[in-house]
Structure 1
Amino acid sequence: MEKPDVFAATDRKGKFCRHCNRSGYLFPDCPSVECHTCHQKGHISYHCSQLFCRYCKLSGHLITACPTRPPRPSPLNSSPVSLSDIASLLQRLLSVSGNTPAAFSSPPGLRCSDIFAVNSLLDFHCKSADMVVARKLFDLIPIPNDVSWNIMISGYRQNSMFENSWEMFSRMRSVGANPNEFSYWSVLSACVALQGPLFGEQVFSLVLKNGFLSSGFVQTQMLQTFSKFHGFKEALRFFNYLSCTNVACWNTIISGAVKTGESCVALNLFRQMLRAYLMPNSYTFPSVLTACCILRDMQMGKVVHGCVVKCCATDIFLKTAIVDFYAKFRCMD
């Protein structure tokens, strides 16, 4: 395969060599330029016909095919964890006596690189609803990172242990760790489940203070929190304040409008969404179709159906919502 001539686009009218400052030819054709590969004059290394490896300094192959060069680790899988690694880690952790504070501060043999394996184990136990073991394992980590905290906060929330989720978030802040957008999303969901508006207001203050209000995850959960504790009107005011460009936020506020009986508002929001050139998805259309059924607005429902076709949405739940819409209008053909 021939190399592309990267100098072909150079304007050759009034040729001038920037190497020897002479006219009549360009730098690649300069007779005094020396090739860094074969050390011959008259051409550059890009146009050299010889293959030269910059690693072993031998000719005949390039550095990418050098047999003596060690393989480079993949950036996507730089620290693979095998079952033997996890087993050895468990043996080290189980050998730690948990009776004294010193045992929790520095488990013997626990390296910083083990945090990836520990987080994998934490996630496994949380998804297995074994939060007791997950908590014991978490307490053995000398310095948990953000992923460790988020796994525990989310794990308690997923297993309906919302008070523990809030307690873990509070502990995270008390030790000086910095919550991120995933931390706030999980703890806000726990506050809604706990029906604790005071907790939600505290988290909202932290979101504003730490600059996470621009996150789509946080915005979506904050809309649900406002709708739960302060009603849909306050949630709508907060939505208008945000000037959201996140489709998930639009889906949340439209769905909230339909659930609270504000079907006209839901359709108006859908129209605003289209005017803002935002692409609705499979979570947007069912709520809008429900609003059309409530308002008996078949014409708008057909418009929504046309948008579904244009967006190439093929979700089975969306197809069911379309069938249900036409069935309610007794259009079975």
Structure 2
Amino acid sequence: MTLYMPLFRACASLRTVAQLHAHLLVTGLHRDPLASTRLIQSYAEMGSLESSRLVFDHFHAPDSFMWGVLIKCCAWSRSFEGAVSLYREMVRQRKEITRFIYPSVLRACSCSGNLGAGETVHGTVVKCGLDGDDVILSSLLCMYGEMGSLRNAGKVFDGMSGRDVVSWSSMISSYVDNGDPSGGLDVFRSMLLQGFEPDSVTMIGVAEACAQLGSLCLARLIHGQVVTRNIESDDATLNNSLVVMYSKCGELSSAEVLFNIATCRSAASWTAMISSYNQSGRFREALDVFLEMQESQCKANSVTMMAILCSCARLGWLREGQSVHCFVIRNAIDPGYDFLGPAFIEFYADCGRVHDSEKTFMIIEERDAVSWNMLITVYARKGFLEEALSTFLQMRVQGIIPDSFSFTVSLWSCGSMGFSQLGCQIHGFVMKSHFQKGFVLNALIDMYSKCSDVDSAYRVFLEIQQKDIVTWNTMICGFCQNGYSLEAIHLFDKMYSNGFIMDEVSFLSVIQACSQLAYLEKGKWVHHKLIIHGVRKDLYVDTALTDMYAKSGDLKSAQSVFDSMPEKTVVSWSAMIAGYGTHGQIDIAISLFNQMVQMGIEPNDVTFMNILSACSHTGSVEYGKFYFGLMNSHGVAPKLEHFACLIDLLSRSGNLDEAYSVISSMPFPADSSIWGALINGCRIHQRMDIFQIIQRDLLDVDTADTGYYTLLSNIHAEEGNWVRSRKLRSTMESAGLKKVPGYSLIELGNRTYKFGAGDISDLQMEEICKQREKNLQNLEAE
């Protein structure tokens, strides 16, 4: 058999391996374990893992070494599930598992995202007494780090007796790659204190940590360490990392100096400088560097072209991007579009050429999850939500396993379209695929909330063991969006009592909840906490505070917050106008509107809605007609709600003929809100003549508005037409429509309680009765 080993090494194609395989079959040497093992390896090296598996399956009683080689070949060929499956089969058949098998299996567990399988393998390693093997421990350390299990990675690291610079570097990278750069720097400090000398790989990880923190002071300290210790890398990788580090810390001049003094500039060096200019928003300079790179005769690679495509996309330069595309084709850079395909999809989409994005997707030879995800994201970002979901389903039909990103974008699309049924099916697939990562579960909460299924959203929330700030914010926002304001406030209180560091999104949601309830005292408490927590000044939060104070009747505080805003948008002005209008101060509302226009801020449809509502509240008919007529001059086309507000204003003031004339001239059919406003005016001013004229129009109205049916029924009852009145009530009942019951709110201590007619909840009634008795005693004492 040893005579054939040089032949195996000489095999340069799949065909020559197959010919050698045929010769071994003829001579009977295929029964030799070493020959078959070498065949398995040769087939895998030539890209035919299926042939490797066939050789293995047809060999009688393969030994442990052959199993290990096939597992390693699966890992090489990115058949990670296959490698894990083979390992499990070895365990089931009680095969001897040698120590050289474990690194390949752990690598497969990491790349397939199967943390559970990796933990099981770890347990087996401990049982077999191999937990002292440095190679296996290094593999475990890498696996846990790559899958974000820093706690387990730390335990493995702490248990290593023979730590070297490689294990220290791996631990630093684990923290940095999982978004904890401070933790990575702490490990680096411990490494230095224990007397270990860092190498270029260590410093690359540390430089990335500084880049993530954006700390220029730390960046200079780390650069000083590199210079003082005379640490260099053979391929200038460390210098490239320092260039990127300085650019991310906002010190582009230092990045330029490092790039200019580099004695050997590789493609990676040029790419690092191009990326640095992109990072700083200097996209033209990035393109200039690329031209210099071409003049230096340095060949660009796929990463370089991706950076250049980013420059063209940010500048919106379609023609230049198309030239880059031609350059890629002409120089045969990534012929199968396996790497650059997603970048071209995104570039064409950013330039408004979604059709070209689709064409690029179709020419990608091997479409993996990244390519599918990019097309799904393009559709979702451009508002083609049905196409995004259809592409996700096609991805599944093609047998591509979605990843966390696929699930997140698809769930967002489902939520935006209200497709709760499809969202629920995706939820089931998420659970079966074990993709219960934080951002996927947060996307599920968001999807259910947008589909008005708050109960399901809350169930997902409760099932999450480790809730981060995004999880809490998503659920609070979900409650608030669906009118569960009290629940939103109570959840915020729980979040606060648990000691979470809250951000502007947390405060924004709870302020909106207070605004919906006009809960002034709680709103003031939240405002106070917002200040003492040092939450940065935020336009949206300030606007929400203005709206909350205005709706709660504290116009002085609303005006104070509004005046303190360094920047005011049309939303901010609209909120303040609505506050004064709701409380009948029409003159101030109009003055604010005029100030806004004078400052060059164009009013939108909400602004006009607010000013029309202010006119309606005060019965200012002439003002209302004036501002309704002003809408077109500001480029705002009146919508149904604007017409409804004008009709309500005219009807309440008794101008019913004019109101009916406006309805007749509308560019679209009137809905129940508009007819309801006119009907109510007819009832108030006893204009049954108009009511008789419009009765035929009322028959065409299809609505689920119970107030509309109730109003009609009451009018018919007042006229003595009991048959018609009862018929309308029956129509409501047959359609399953019920009048939404009113409720009251009462504040006791630091909590708000909600109750309606006939509500005898023991807890609430006991509290209310106690407060009532206390108030009566105080009155008697007076």
2:391 paired with 1:155:
no
Provide Cα deviations, 1:134-187, integer angstroms capped at 9, x if missing partner: 010111111133332211001111222222212221222233322111111111
Q: Which residue of 2 aligns with 1:134?
A: 357
Q: Which residue of 1 aligns with 2:326?
A: 90
Change in CA separation of 1:296 and 1:156 when aligned onto 2, cut-off 3 Å: closer
2:540 paired with 1:311:
no
The Cα shift of 1:86 comes to 7.1
User: What is the SS of the residue equivalent to 1:245?
Assistant: coil
> Does the 8 A contact of 2:375 with 2:388 survive in 1?
yes
Which amino acid letter does the alignment assign opposite residue 304 of structure 2? P
Which amino acid letter does the alignment assign opposite residue 264 of structure 1? L
Which amino acid letter does the alignment assign opposite residue 184 of structure 1? F
2:369 paired with 1:146:
yes
When normalised by structure 1's length, the TM-score is 0.67
Q: Which residue of 2 aligns with 1:249?
A: 471
The Cα shift of 1:127 comes to 2.6
Q: Distance in 2 between matches of 1:62 and 1:307?
A: 48
The Cα shift of 1:115 comes to 4.0
Which amino acid letter does the alignment assign opposite residue 238 of structure 1? V
Provide Cα deviations, 1:91-114, integer angstroms capped at 9, x if missing partner: 665x9xxxxxxxxxxxx9463795
1:71 to 236, 239, 259: 236
Change in CA separation of 1:310 and 1:274 when aligned onto 2, cut-off 3 Å: same
2:536 paired with 1:300:
no
Change in CA separation of 1:226 and 1:62 when aligned onto 2, cut-off 3 Å: closer
Change in CA separation of 1:262 and 1:88 when aligned onto 2, cut-off 3 Å: closer
> Does the 8 A contact of 1:156 with 1:164 survive in 2?
yes
User: Structure 2, unaligned stretches of length 5 or more?
Assistant: 1-196, 198-227, 245-270, 273-302, 310-319, 561-782
Q: Which residue of 2 aligns with 1:266?
A: 488
> Does the 8 A contact of 1:126 with 1:152 survive in 2?
no
Change in CA separation of 1:64 and 1:242 when aligned onto 2, cut-off 3 Å: closer
Q: Which residue of 1 aligns with 2:681?
A: none
Which amino acid letter does the alignment assign opposite residue 254 of structure 1? I
Q: Which residue of 2 aligns with 1:239?
A: 461
- For the pair shown, the structure with the greater C-alpha radius of gyration is 2
User: What is the SS of the residue equivalent to 2:370?
Assistant: helix
Which amino acid letter does the alignment assign opposite residue 302 of structure 1? K
Q: Distance in 2 between matches of 1:204 and 1:65?
A: 49
Q: Distance in 1 between matches of 2:421 and 2:547?
A: 40
Change in CA separation of 1:64 and 1:227 when aligned onto 2, cut-off 3 Å: closer
Change in CA separation of 1:71 and 1:213 when aligned onto 2, cut-off 3 Å: closer
Alignment of 1:155-304 (within 5 A): 155-216=378-439, 218-229=440-451, 231-243=453-465, 245-304=467-526
Change in CA separation of 1:110 and 1:287 when aligned onto 2, cut-off 3 Å: same
Provide Cα deviations, 1:281-318, integer angstroms capped at 9, x if missing partner: 11121221222233343332222112211332211111
The Cα shift of 1:64 comes to 4.4
> Does the 8 A contact of 1:200 with 1:225 survive in 2?
yes
> Does the 8 A contact of 1:245 with 1:278 survive in 2?
no
The Cα shift of 1:191 comes to 2.1
Q: Distance in 2 between matches of 1:65 and 1:285?
A: 48
Say what the alpha-carbon RMSD is for the aligned residues. Answer: 3.2
Q: Distance in 1 between matches of 2:516 and 2:390?
A: 42
The Cα shift of 1:259 comes to 2.5
Change in CA separation of 1:286 and 1:88 when aligned onto 2, cut-off 3 Å: closer
Q: Distance in 2 between matches of 1:160 and 1:71?
A: 44
Highest relative contact order (Cα 8 Å, sep 6+), 1 or 2? 1
The more displaced of 238-247 and 164-173 is 238-247
The Cα shift of 1:326 comes to 3.2
The Cα shift of 1:214 comes to 2.6
Which amino acid letter does the alignment assign opposite residue 473 of structure 2? N
Q: Distance in 2 between matches of 1:62 and 1:287?
A: 51
The more displaced of 70-79 and 146-155 is 70-79
Q: Which residue of 2 aligns with 1:324?
A: 547
2:245 paired with 1:80:
no
Q: Distance in 2 between matches of 1:194 and 1:302?
A: 36
Q: Distance in 2 between matches of 1:131 and 1:277?
A: 46
> Does the 8 A contact of 2:480 with 2:509 survive in 1?
yes
User: What is the SS of the residue equivalent to 2:352?
Assistant: coil
Q: Distance in 2 between matches of 1:130 and 1:174?
A: 26
Q: Distance in 2 between matches of 1:190 and 1:294?
A: 27
- Sequence identity percentage: 23
When normalised by structure 2's length, the TM-score is 0.30
Which amino acid letter does the alignment assign opposite residue 510 of structure 2? V
User: What is the SS of the residue equivalent to 2:347?
Assistant: helix
Q: Distance in 2 between matches of 1:291 and 1:318?
A: 13
The Cα shift of 1:239 comes to 1.8
> Does the 8 A contact of 2:376 with 2:389 survive in 1?
yes
Change in CA separation of 1:219 and 1:121 when aligned onto 2, cut-off 3 Å: same
Provide Cα deviations, 1:40-98, integer angstroms capped at 9, x if missing partner: xxxxxx9xxxxxxxxxxxxxx986479xx5533736657322479973643665x9xxx
User: What is the SS of the residue equivalent to 2:304?
Assistant: coil
> Does the 8 A contact of 1:244 with 1:250 survive in 2?
no
The more displaced of 312-321 and 168-177 is 168-177
User: What is the SS of the residue equivalent to 1:250?
Assistant: helix
Q: Distance in 2 between matches of 1:215 and 1:297?
A: 32
> Which has more helix, going by share of residues?
2
Q: Which residue of 1 aligns with 2:342?
A: 119
Change in CA separation of 1:229 and 1:259 when aligned onto 2, cut-off 3 Å: closer
Provide Cα deviations, 1:246-285, integer angstroms capped at 9, x if missing partner: 2222222212222222221111000111122222211121
Which amino acid letter does the alignment assign opposite residue 299 of structure 1? E
Q: Distance in 1 between matches of 2:545 and 2:416?
A: 32
Q: Which residue of 1 aligns with 2:9?
A: none
User: What is the SS of the residue equivalent to 2:504?
Assistant: coil
The Cα shift of 1:122 comes to 1.2
Change in CA separation of 1:252 and 1:64 when aligned onto 2, cut-off 3 Å: closer
User: What is the SS of the residue equivalent to 2:540?
Assistant: helix
Q: Distance in 1 between matches of 2:492 and 2:387?
A: 38
Q: Distance in 1 between matches of 2:541 and 2:402?
A: 36
The Cα shift of 1:240 comes to 1.9
Q: Distance in 1 between matches of 2:347 and 2:478?
A: 34
Change in CA separation of 1:113 and 1:80 when aligned onto 2, cut-off 3 Å: farther
The Cα shift of 1:244 comes to 5.3
Q: Distance in 1 between matches of 2:556 and 2:333?
A: 67
User: Structure 1, unaligned stretches of length 5 or more?
Assistant: 1-45, 47-60, 96-107
Q: Distance in 1 between matches of 2:419 and 2:547?
A: 37
